[in-house]
Amino acid sequence: MKIIKDERLIIQNLRNIRIAFLFQTICILGILIYDGISKGITHVTDNPLWLVFMGTSVILGYLNLRISVDEYETHNKKKQGPYYKNVFISLVVGVIFSVITILTPEGTVRDAVIIGGVMFGCFLFSFTVVYYLRKKRYDEFDDEE
């Protein structure tokens, strides 16, 4: 199989992949909605397709972070703030979710620690990725000048 070198064909191939991905996502979402209506919402979250759908959404979101950072950083060239602010914001979000979990009628300390820890980790990971992408972009911008 030959490697495609024509840019028009590469762009058309990416469009085809995007259409197939969109069709696949709509079908998975349709199956989950049908299960939710016919068998209840708890059956939806037990379905392996739910994990595929959520995993795909998370991966797509993280992959789009680089595009978003590149797009917004071309307009704004200010220096990146300190990293500890990202850790502090992530910690605050984790604590808020822990407190919300404890305040629910069936909330336990164990559940609060798990949910708070997961939220802290997710936010910290997202903020870290964006921080290093912006830092890399800022360093490249400084090298160009």
Q: CA-based angle 126:64:8, to the nearest 5?
A: 160
Residues 66 and 14 in one domain: yes
Residues 13 and 31 in one domain: yes
Residues 14 and 61 in one domain: yes
| Last residue within a domain, chosen from 76, 98, 129 | 76
| Of the candidates 126, 17, 119, the residue with the CA atom closest to the CA atom of residue 61 | 126
C-alpha to C-alpha distance for 141 and 144, rounded to whole angstroms:
5
Q: 89-142 pLDDT, tens per residue?
A: 999 999 999 999 898 888 788 988 998 999 999 899 988 988 888 787 777 766
Longest CA–CA span in the chain (Å) reads: 61
Residues 72 and 83 in one domain: no
Q: What pTM, to 2 d.p., does this model score?
A: 0.56
Tally of domains within the chain? 2
Q: How is residue 110 written in tokens?
A: 């164990």
